[in-house]
Structures are given as structure tokens and as C-alpha cells.
A and B are shown apart, each in its own frame.
Chain A
Amino acid sequence: MNMLLNNLRELRNYPSAMAGILVVLALVAFSIYTLVTIPYDEAVTLWRGGENIWYRLPRNAPPAWINVFRRQKLPESIILNSAQGEAEKSTEAMSQGQQMVNLTFTFDFQADAFPDALALYFQPTYREKSPFVSAIWTTPDGREIRIGDFAVSTGTVFRFEQDDRLRRRLSREVGDYPAHVALFMQPDVEPPTPLKGTYTLHLSAVTFEEGSDLEAEFIAYGKVYGIAGTDHLRRDLRIALMWGAPVALAFGLLAALGTTLTTMVIAAFGVWFGSWVDDLIQRVTEVNLMLPLLPILIMVGTFYSRSIWLLLGVTILLSIFGGGIKTYRAIFLQIRESPYIEAAQAYGAGDIRIVFHYLVPRIIPVLIPQLVTLIPSYVFLEASLAVLGLGDPLLPTWGKVIQDAQSNGALYKGLYYWVLEPAGLLMVTGLGFAMVGFALDRVFNPRLREL
């Protein structure tokens, strides 16, 4: 044990090991933070949630910080909800129980590019007759553009780009552009350039019943979002990127621990008991080496379940009787001949005691570096399975983000952030563990050190 600690202390002489340890510690801290701030259930609900959770976010938007590196600033989303007091609201009573509800959304637009889309989400209250709304758009230079008149029932969504009458009207006034361009462009400037300044959207609604009311949410979808951006389903990638860390760590650590420890114990038993036990283990290992791990994992994932825990279990099962058995066996065979084992036997130590107290501890110097170097390969295995579409259906992971990006042609469409963010995190994780593992290998196997 003391030797172990001394060896670990020696790690300080390896800058790369220290960097690796820092990365690993940071990842652990990040994972704990994630688990605390976004509990499992919430992560699953959010990630599997559809349009009703994510409707406010733009589609395929890069992270907002890319604006720092751009001369032309891309717009962020503008979300104004009258129910939360983000619009001026006034109500006038009219005859026969009718009322006039006025909502004015005012916002400042300073970006160098057009928004991605415009939408109005209506939340009217009424019993039978739905309110009737007319909408007017005012640009910073004072032009007024009529958006349209429409009856709004519960759940009505007005998407500016999809309204034919609005498009015809706009093409007569400013030219044939989609609404989110036409409404923001400077008149008669080619190519279309956004006009900066204060815009207003005025809604005047007539309600026909006593107590009937109208709230609305105006969204000008931006072209960038948050610290991680969004994917094709408008989901905030931050959740998947954060949750990927604990999943990757847990999978890598459990798989590496599970395989190395069981492999080692099995090899020790085989060597100690010899004869048919050893033979059996050797034959099982040979059969197992003939089974291709990845195709079997693919079959299990396809036929049974894609749960990450099942795949973890199968991975461990298939890797127990892997190449490691033969390495450990060779070392154990040497140790078995040592005099101190003979001495232990003379003292009357039992088989189990000899295996666990005399054989196994001697192999720890080989084990620890192997364990650490194995972690990244399992982290990448999980990612590989996810990239193949065999990711856990519930949990968001880094591999799944890469898979989503791949299957939606992120690289073809130039949505590099979508691939680079999870890939970067994977790389950092893999490198962190690998650097520690390599340094450990040098510390524990002194023969390598002077080389």
C-alpha cells in the first residue's frame, strides 16, 4: 500500500499526468454539478420533450458566443410574452359586452443578420366565440405594415412565413422575400440588409364575451442560442452535453473496473487451481476471442434493448474472457513459483486466501495503468454504439448528439458546432484518462521509465 502511494506521489513529476488528473477531476466535478442541477428524470423529460417544451428555441442554431468571433453579429431570439408583462396591454370596454384588448410588443433589434423566423402564439380565454385579432407591424423608420386579421382559438399559432396573404402583401410593398426578411429589411437596399432600431408589433383584439381575454407570445427566432446551440428539434444541446459527462464517466469506469477486476480474479483462480479449471478458462477465452464484440453488441441492441446498462453488462461479460486473461495468466504463473507462496502454503493458508492475499495484490502495478487506459476506450465504445444508432433511447449522451448531427448531415450543412462540441468533450475525456494511464504505466513499470 505504501509503495502504491509512493508511486502515485511520483506522478507529480509528469506534467502530462498532472494535466490528465486535472481534466479528470474537472469532469467529475462537472458531472456532479450536472446531476445536482438537472436530475435524471428532468433530463429525460427535457430531451424527449417535443415542440411544446422547445418551441421557443430556434432550430439548428449555433451557440451565441460565436458572435464574439464574427464581425457580422447574428441575432439572438427575442421572446416577448404578454402574460409575463413583456408587452403593453390595455383593455377598453365596448358595447354589448365586447372589449378591445390592445397588446403592443416593443423590441430593439441590433443584429447584422435577419432573424430565422417569426411566430405569434396566442393564449385566448373564451367560452364560445373566439376573439378576433388584427396585427400591425411598425418599423424603426415609421412604416406601418398590416400583418393580417384572424380569429384566434386556443392553441392558434401564427407563423409569419407561412401566411399566403401576408406574403402577397409584402411582395407588393417590399419585394418577394420571406416575412422575417421583408419585415426587417431596409427598403430599396440590395442585397437585403436589416434595419436596426426599435420595432413594434401591435395587436388589437376584439373579444365578444364577458371575461374573455387574450394573451400572446411573440417570438423572433434568432440564429444563435445559448452556450451550446440547438439541434434539429430545437432542443438545447447544453442538456445533452452536460449529461454526457456523467454517463461517459459511469460507463467507462464501470466497464473498465468490471472487466479488469473480474478478468484478474478469474485468471488468478485458473492459475492457482490449474488442471481443468485453467483449461476451461483458456478454452472459453479462445471461443470468446472468436466472437466479434461489436456485431454482438449491435445484435443485442437491436433485438433486446438499447438500455445503456444492458449494453454495459454485455460489454463486461464479453470482455471478461478477453486478451487480458492471457496477460494476467502469464504474470500469475511467474508469481505462483515465488517462495513466499510456498511459505504461505506451509503456514496453512487456504486456496482462497492465497488467491486474494498473495496472488492478486502482486498484480496491482500492472492492473492500475491498464484500468485507467481502458476507461477511454469504453467511453468511446459507448459513443460508437450511439453513433451507430444504438444509444440509450432515454438518456442524452455525447455519442447520440454526434449521431443526430451525422444523420442530419451537420457537416454537409456547415453546422460544425453540432459535431465539434460533443467530439471535443469526448476528446478531452479520452485524452485526460489516457495521459494519466500512460504516466501510471511508466511509474509502475520502471523498465519503461528510462526509455
Chain B
Amino acid sequence: MAKSALTLDQIPETPPAETAPASRGSTLARVGKYTLVRGITLFITVVIGVYLTVLIANMGGYVDNIRRGEIQESVSFQVMNDPALRTLTVEEKRALIAERIRLEEKRLGLDQPFLVRSFRFLRNALTLQLGRAQRMTSDSGSRQVRLIILERLPPTLLLFGTSNLLLFFLSLGIALGFARRYGSLMDRIFVALSPTSAAPGWFYGIFLILIFAGLLHWLPFGGMVAAPPPKSPIAYALSLARHMVLPIAALLLSSIFISVYSWRTFFLIYASEDYVEMARAKGLPDRLVERRYILRPTLPTIITSFALTLIGLWTGAPIFETVFNWPGLGRTLFQAVGLFDTAVIVGSTVIFAYLLAITVFLLDIIYALVDPRVRVGAGGGNGR
């Protein structure tokens, strides 16, 4: 699903090219101003998004119930184990517990109306005070949701970073080749196979696991490194690489055909422009035509697509990582669902939203630097 949700339109519109002489300034200042505005709008977007998440997670009263449960547990524990209170009767103890719970709930503001509380949740979420997990712990044994998530982030980045970058450059290269001599056998095969991309990566993952782990026993069923993890760094890296082969292959298999197909179509449309024909007629070598007349005008689109590739790093991971038993953010979310660990679920969603926003933000800066329209406005009309 994540795959289909990402279309070329998802990238925020490029800033309007400003040509008014009044706004003439150094590129840096302009980019800075643009960045600031973009940053603020994105932050507002994140705030709204996270607030919606908080609303969804609170609507069923789950978060409140869990906090109440926590308070009750800790207060009961304190009273029952306080040697000074041992002389009290059961009735008196119960009354004391009720009173303390009331005070504690008041202190934490649980007696306040939901609206007030929801804004406090929002503040906590935005400042990444994600609270403590109910059942999950990080590998170091901490129950801090923030630490759990930070610990799971690198494996996700490693896996999806490697595979998405590979996918991007591979499909770009192959597509260029096909655009040069379209109609060749390989070209037709790729076009014919492009509908297979309807299936997501985890789906192909299951088949790959079946063949290469189940039947042939060449590669591991899943996980990130062998257990126990190898001691020496080289052996560790090798084991990691071995475990990454199947997930990367699955991701490539599910996306490469459609990716190559759309790139090749895109290049072909550009290659049929009049000025390309003109350049060919002039007798310029193919390579040069390709670089100067096809690749250059398509650069903004290529960058956009690269940006989408980066955004794609954060989506669709839960199932993929679950199938491959990859200890990343997505699988953590899935485990949290299984354990009804609300704090971790809300925390992961907040992190997803933040990561998306940060990616979009960084891309905006890159745009501002690369997009010719922004540069023309900034540079004071040199050239065109």
C-alpha cells in the first residue's frame, strides 16, 4: 500500500519562482527564508498530525486507563509494602490507597477535562517525552519508549536505506539503457512484468524465504545477524550481509519492474522531443545527447523521485520487517500491537510523522538549492 500511496505528487509543490527585483538577495538568505517558512509550515503539519494521533489513541480511553492502572499499581504497592503502615486494617489501607490515587491523579491532571489533557499529551509527544512502555523493553533493559525506538531505528535505516538506494540507481540505469534501444527483448520483458509490482515486498519475501531458506537452505530465514552474533567486526558484517540478501531481493523484486517501466516511458517521452531529434541530426554522439539533452531536463523529476525514495524509507516497514524478523522500527510497532503496548504504538507513530517531516524538510532545502526556478530568482536573472 505504501508503495502505491507514493506518487510523484506527494512532494510539496516547488516554491513559486520569484522574479521581482525587490526580493533580490544572496542565495543563502533566500534559501534561509524559504527554509524557515517551509520549516514552520511543516512543523504545524506535524503538530496537527500528532494531535490527530493522540486523539485516535485516546478516543477509546486507552491511554487514560493505562495511566490510571499504572498509578493504582504503584500506589497499592507503596501502601502494601510500607512498614510504617503495617498496623492499619485492610479497610483503612483501602481508604488510604483510594485517597492517594485521587491525589496522584489530580497531580497528573487526570481529573481535568479531556481537551486539556489531550494538549498535554500533544506537548509530551512533540517533545518526545514518550513515556514508559508497559511490557516492551529495549535490549539494554530500559522501558523508556524513546530509547526503545532509538535502538530500533538503525536496523530500519540500514535495510531500507540500502535497498531503496539500490533500487533507485539500478532502475534509473536500466531504464536509460532501455530508452536507448526500446523494443528490445529485455525491454519487452520488463514491460510485461511490470504488473507483478502490484504485490508488496513482504509478499515476495515469503516466496524467497520459502525457496532460499526453506528448500535450498542457502540463506537464513530471517533476523539481522546470526545468533550468537559473531565477535569480530568482519564476521559480523558478513553475517549482516548474508541476512540482508533476501529482504533486499524481495524489495527489488517487488518494485524494480514498475520502476524501470515508468522511468523508461518518462525518458522516451523526453527523447522524442524535437530538440533531441535536432541534436541527433547534428550528429552528436549518443552519450552526449543522452547526458545533455535527455538527462539534464529530467533532473528535477529524478530528484523528486529520489526524494520519494527517501520518504519511502519510513513507510510500509511493519509487515516487511515482521516477515523477515528484522529488528527494526516496523517490527517494534507490530510487537507493540501484539502486546497492546499503547505507549510504544503512539510513540512509533509520532516518530514516523517526525521522520517524514524531517525528510520532506531536508528535501525542500535541496530543492531550494537545486531547482533552477529558485536559483534564477535568487541569482538575479543570470542566463535566462
Contacts and interface: CB of A to CB of B under 8 A. Distances in A.
Interface string B48-74: 110011001101101000000000000
Interface residues of B, number: 67
Given A302-B345, A377-B1, A434-B198, A327 B7 contact: yes
B119 interface: no
B322 A431 contact: no
B1 A292 contact: no
A249 interface: no
Given A323-B9, A427-B199, A381 B213 contact: no
A434 B258 CA distance: 11
Interface stretch (A34-42, A120-128, A147-155, A283-291): A283-291
Interface string B316-356: 10110011000000000110011010100110110011001
Interface string A355-391: 0000000000000000001101110110110011110
Interface stretch (B17-25, B90-98, B188-196, B375-383): B188-196
Nearest to B264: A451
Interface string B177-219: 0000010000000001011111110110011011001100000
Given A303-B62, A377-B4, A291 B49 contact: yes
A293 B268 contact: no
A165 to B, nearest CB: 40
A16 interface: yes
A295 B316 contact: no
A423 interface: yes
Contact of B203 (A296, A303, A380): A380
B5 interface: yes
B142 interface: no
Interface string A11-30: 00000100010000000000
Pick the 7 closest A-B CB pairs, nearest first.
A434-B195, A326-B9, A376-B198, A434-B198, A377-B4, A430-B198, A323-B7
Interface of A: 16, 20, 286-287, 289-296, 298-304, 319, 322-327, 330, 373-374, 376-378, 380-381, 383-384, 387-390, 402, 406, 411-412, 414, 416, 419-420, 423, 426-427, 430-431, 433-435, 437-438, 447-448, 451
7 contacts: A298-B334, A298-B345, A299-B349, A326-B10, A330-B9, A377-B4, A406-B206
Given A298-B337, A327-B7, 12 more contacts: A20-B195, A287-B49, A292-B352, A294-B2, A319-B5, A323-B7, A330-B9, A411-B214, A412-B214, A416-B214, A423-B207, A451-B269
Interface of B: 1-10, 12, 41, 45-46, 48-49, 52-53, 56-57, 59-60, 62, 182, 192, 194-200, 202-203, 206-207, 209-210, 213-214, 221, 264-265, 268-269, 314-316, 318-319, 322-323, 333-334, 337-338, 340, 342, 345-346, 348-349, 352-353, 356-357, 360
